[in-house]
């Protein structure tokens, strides 16, 4: 009985940890696309003008940079939305 209880507690703890680690941090949720763009993109290169690309191209750039820069889904979505709306 003690073993079943221990395994159950371990499983519930692991499941809770996994679920909570998938949540987007509040620090990212609170930031605007413009803030995230400035903070993330200038780490590696000069910030491109939002007019540099059209909406379709910004989607492609966003997908590429999500992988290359290690952006979260939320960061990528906010940045691309900002760049598409800044024309």
Structure tokens at 32: 């605007």
Higher pLDDT residue, 9 or 55? Answer: 55
| pLDDT score recorded for residue 21 | 54
How far apart are the C-alpha atoms of 21 and 6, rounded to whole Å?
22
**What are 14-72's pLDDT values in tens digits?**
555 555 456 667 777 789 999 999 999 888 989 888 999 999 999 999 999 999 999 99
pTM metric for this prediction: 0.68
CB-based burial, 41-73: b 16+ in 10 Å, e otherwise: beeeeeeeeeeebeeeebeebbeebbeeeebee
Domain spans of the chain?
27-85
| pLDDT score recorded for residue 75 | 94
How far apart are the C-alpha atoms of 79 and 83, rounded to whole Å?
6
């Amino acid at each position: 009985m003690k073993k079943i209880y221990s395994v159950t507690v371990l499983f519930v703890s692991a499941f809770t940890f996994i679920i909570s680690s998938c949540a987007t941090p509040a620090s990212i949720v609170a930031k605007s696309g413009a803030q995230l763009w400035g903070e993330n993109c200038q780490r590696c290169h000069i910030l491109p003008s939002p007019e540099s690309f059209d909406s379709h191209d910004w989607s492609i750039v966003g997908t590429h940079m999500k992988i290359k820069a290690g952006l979260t889904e939320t960061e990528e979505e906010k940045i691309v939305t900002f760049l598409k709306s800044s024309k």
